[in-house]
Structures are given as structure tokens and as C-alpha cells.
Structure 1
């Protein structure tokens, strides 16, 4: 049997190469579509999580403000409203300063040190 002669009923090599190219293109397109679908699903999931975190943050901030107002009102009966406000604002600013300095020192620190 001569390998150079085409066998009747079987596709030729150029036809097989063309079909392989076409199939490879289809597989690549399907993989890209799958990756897009996975990315879209992940983006939707992360978007919903981000919204929930944002709502939780707003509610936590509202609770903190309510707590501080309650603290001012409680202290106002002891030291007066002006002094109570100044004391609470001063304490909150002091905590904010300590947290800011701690954050700055962490940024300035070398990794691994």
C-alpha cells in the first residue's frame, strides 16, 4: 500500500487540518465564553457583597454617632452641655489621632521588620 495515494472514503490531510483548525477555533471561543461567564458571575457576587458591606458600614457609623450623642447627653447632666460636647469631641479626636499615627507607622515600617 502506497501512503501517498489517498484512501477512498477517508478525508484528505488538508481537509483534516482545516477541520482541526475549525475545531480549535470553536474550543477557544467556548473557553473565552466560559471565562467571561465565570467573571460575570464573580463580579455579580462581589458587587452584592460590596453593597452589604457598605450598608453595614453606614449602620455602624449611625450607631457610633448615636452612642456619642448619648454620651454627650449623659455627661451634660453632670458638667453641662458645652463641656460635655467638648469632652466627647476631644476624646474622639484623641482616638482618631492615635489610630492615624498607628496607621502611619505601619506604612513607614519596612516589610518583614
Structure 2
């Protein structure tokens, strides 16, 4: 008969098992700490981006409102400038018609750009 080696756990083997177990425990705790730190980092980044977007929206809205106010003031000024030549009613009609004509032109340009974009995307 052949003799098979007897597997006996020596104290060194138990220490190796404990050190491997301890290494895996440290690896797990380090991985957990890294994941927690990364989650906090991403929360901070999201907060910074959210704050920046909020500020950009506020400033953009304020700029848009000021530009719109300037446009209204310009149109009122045009009416007041044209009033002595053609009268108040006709000055209003001229400014209103011109504004509609410019708006129509801009909408047609926007439509052509959108159709060009659709053709490019479909190709």
C-alpha cells in the first residue's frame, strides 16, 4: 500500500489562514472606505454642478428679461419717433408690422435650419 501524506494543520498554517483572512478583511474594509469616499466625492461634484446650473439659469433669465425690456423700449421709441410724421395709429401699425415681418423671417430661418439638421441626421 501507498502511504498518503497526512494533512495536519500546523500553527504556521493557521497563522497563514488568519493572515489571508485578515488581508481579505482589510481589502474589504479599504474597498468599502474607497467606495464611500467616491460616493461623497460624486455628491460634492453633483452639488457643484447643480449650483452652477442654477446660477446660469438665473443669470440667463435675467439677461433675457433685460434684453426683452430693451427691445420693448426700442419699439416704443420707434413709435414715438414715427408719430409726428404719420400719426400715432400708423406709427403703431408700421412698427407692429415690421416686428411681425422680422419675426416671420427668423422663424423661416429656424425652420430651414431644423429641416437641414433632420436631413443630416437621417443620412
Query: TM range, normalised to the smaller chain?
Result: 0.7 to 0.9
1:76 is displaced (CA, Å) by 0.8
TM-score normalized by structure 1? Answer: 0.87
Unaligned runs of 5+ in 2: 1-9
CA distance in 1, matches of 2:21, 2:78: 84
CA distance in 2, matches of 1:66, 1:55: 16
Specify the structure having the higher radius of gyration (Cα).
2
1:30 is displaced (CA, Å) by 0.6
Q: Does 1:108 align with 2:115?
A: yes
CA distance in 1, matches of 2:33, 2:44: 16
TM-score normalized by structure 2? Answer: 0.81
Match for residue 96 of structure 1 among 97, 100, 103: 103
Match for residue 15 of structure 1 among 16, 22, 33: 22
CA distance in 2, matches of 1:28, 1:7: 30
Map of 1:1-113 to 2, 5 A cutoff?
Answer: 5-7=13-15, 11-109=18-116, 110-111=119-120
- Deviations 1:16-49, CA, capped at 9 Å, x for gaps: 1122111101101110110110110121122112
Bigger share in helix = 2
Q: How many residues are aligned here?
A: 110
SS in structure 2 of the partner of residue 82 of structure 1: helix
